[in-house]
């Protein structure tokens, strides 16, 4: 298991100024704060966490450590944080995988989302891009649907693994379009994108953060995106929702949660600090560049969002009979 820690140094008062009045810094223990990430350094979740950690270190007047505990699509990290003290010193940058998909696909995971975690703040949501290699002739939704109907079960779509957002976005697409495609799971996005560009597979609903560099280089062609409205990072790419599939919404998302049972006062203070950090121009610009938007809001709003995501994807998993 890859485990790597990254220390975000919190400057002294003379450098960063006093801890903000009403900030969670006044309520937290004086020890360093850890934000656990269930994915390797350099990925979208990790990058978003590090950007946020730098801001929180300054606001809270103490070190914020980003700790990578990888494996099982984020489940290992979630199981770890669920067992930590509820004093705010250990947080989880949770996401679509370990908070929504895992509870629906893995009956024996070591946590119950509603019982074992305290929602704090949604950090951002990121659409997928439906992409293909440059030389592939069928580069519109209509053409893809036609190919899938003419050759059911043979038009290939790659994913970063069974149960990933790429896989479940494909399942949602098959249900909505009434077609059958061929799902090809990989061990991560990098080998999948390599095969996509090499012609071994046809399409993928790849995450925007991963697909965008290849779109910019011209190696892959963006056909559609999977959020309800166009992301600022890809304003010229239409959504599936506006292209004949109203309501089509398949996004990854990131958010800060703590162990279950955190005090209401601490949760509200942390949420306020995270909201203020997200509004810092440098942070907002970095998130937008990764395709991450719509972050912020209250703990109650984040809890409601998680519940709605669980319901939506549980229905897709049942209807598509997804197993791993």
Count other C-beta atoms under 10 Å from residue 15's C-beta.
9
What sign does the CA torsion over 137, 141, 147, 150 have?
A: negative
Domain chopping of the chain, boundaries: 3-126+252-320, 127-225
DSSP 8-state class, residue 97: I
CA–CA separation, 78 and 85 (whole Å) = 14
pTM (2 d.p.) = 0.88
How far is residue 206's CA from residue 55's CA, in Å, rounded to a whole number? 29
How much is the pLDDT for 22?
A: 54
| Domain 127-225 part of CATH 3.40.1390.10 | no
Give the pLDDT confidence score for residue 54 in this predicted structure: 94
With a CB cutoff of 8 Å and minimum separation 6, the contacts of 291 are 126, 127, 207, 208, 209, 212, 231, 233, 234
- Tell me if domain 3-126+252-320 and domain 127-225 are identical in fold: yes
pLDDT at 7: 40
How many angstroms separate the CA atoms of 166 and 171, rounded? 9
In sequence order, what are the residues at sequence separation of 6 or more whose Cβ sits closer than 8 angstroms to the Cβ of residue 144?
130, 138, 155, 203, 223
d(CA 122, CA 154) in angstroms, rounded, equals 38
Superfamily per CATH, domain 3-126+252-320: Bordetella uptake gene, domain 1 (3.40.190.150)
Query: 78 near 94, Cβ under 8 Å?
Result: yes
Per-residue confidence in pLDDT tens, the chain, 324 aa: 433 333 433 333 333 334 444 589 999 999 999 999 998 887 778 888 999 999 999 999 999 999 999 888 889 999 999 999 999 999 999 999 999 999 999 878 999 999 999 999 999 999 999 999 999 999 999 999 999 999 999 999 999 888 999 999 999 999 999 999 999 999 888 899 999 999 999 999 999 988 989 999 999 999 999 999 999 999 999 999 999 999 999 999 999 999 999 999 999 999 999 999 999 999 999 899 888 999 999 999 999 999 999 999 999 999 999 987
């Amino acid at each position: 298991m890859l485990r790597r820690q990254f220390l975000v140094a919190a400057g002294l008062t003379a450098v960063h100024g006093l801890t903000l009045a009403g900030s969670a810094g006044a309520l937290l223990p004086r020890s360093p704060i850890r934000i656990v990430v269930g994915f390797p350094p350099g990925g979208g979740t990790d990058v978003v966490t590090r950007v946020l950690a730098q801001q929180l270190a300054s606001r809270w007047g103490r070190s914020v450590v980003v700790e990578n505990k990888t494996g099982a699509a984020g489940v290992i990290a979630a199981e770890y944080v669920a067992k930590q003290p509820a004093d705010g010193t250990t947080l989880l940058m949770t996401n679509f995988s370990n908070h929504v998909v895992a509870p629906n696909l893995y009956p024996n995971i070591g946590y119950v989302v509603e019982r074992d975690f305290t929602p704090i703040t949604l950090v951002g949501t990121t659409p997928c891009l439906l992409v293909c290699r440059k030389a592939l002739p069928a580069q519109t939704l209509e053409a893809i649907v036609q190919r899938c109907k003419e050759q059911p079960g043979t038009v290939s779509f790659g994913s970063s693994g069974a149960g990933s957002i790429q896989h479940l976005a494909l399942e949602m697409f098959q249900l909505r379009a009434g077609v059958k495609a061929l799902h090809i799971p990989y061990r991560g996005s990098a080998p999948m994108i390599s095969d996509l560009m090499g012609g071994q597979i046809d399409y993928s609903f790849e995450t925007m953060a991963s697909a965008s560099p290849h779109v910019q280089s011209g190696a892959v062609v963006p056909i559609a995106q999977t959020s309800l409205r166009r992301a600022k990072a890809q304003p010229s790419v239409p959504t599936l929702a506006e292209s004949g599939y109203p309501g089509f919404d398949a996004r990854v998302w990131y958010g800060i949660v703590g162990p279950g049972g955190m005090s209401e006062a601490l949760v509200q203070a942390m949420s306020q600090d995270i909201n203020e950090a997200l509004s810092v121009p440098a942070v907002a610009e970095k998130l937008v560049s990764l395709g991450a938007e719509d972050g912020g809001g209250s703990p109650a709003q984040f809890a409601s969002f998680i519940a709605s995501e669980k319901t939506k994807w549980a229905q897709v998993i049942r209807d598509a009979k997804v197993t791993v």
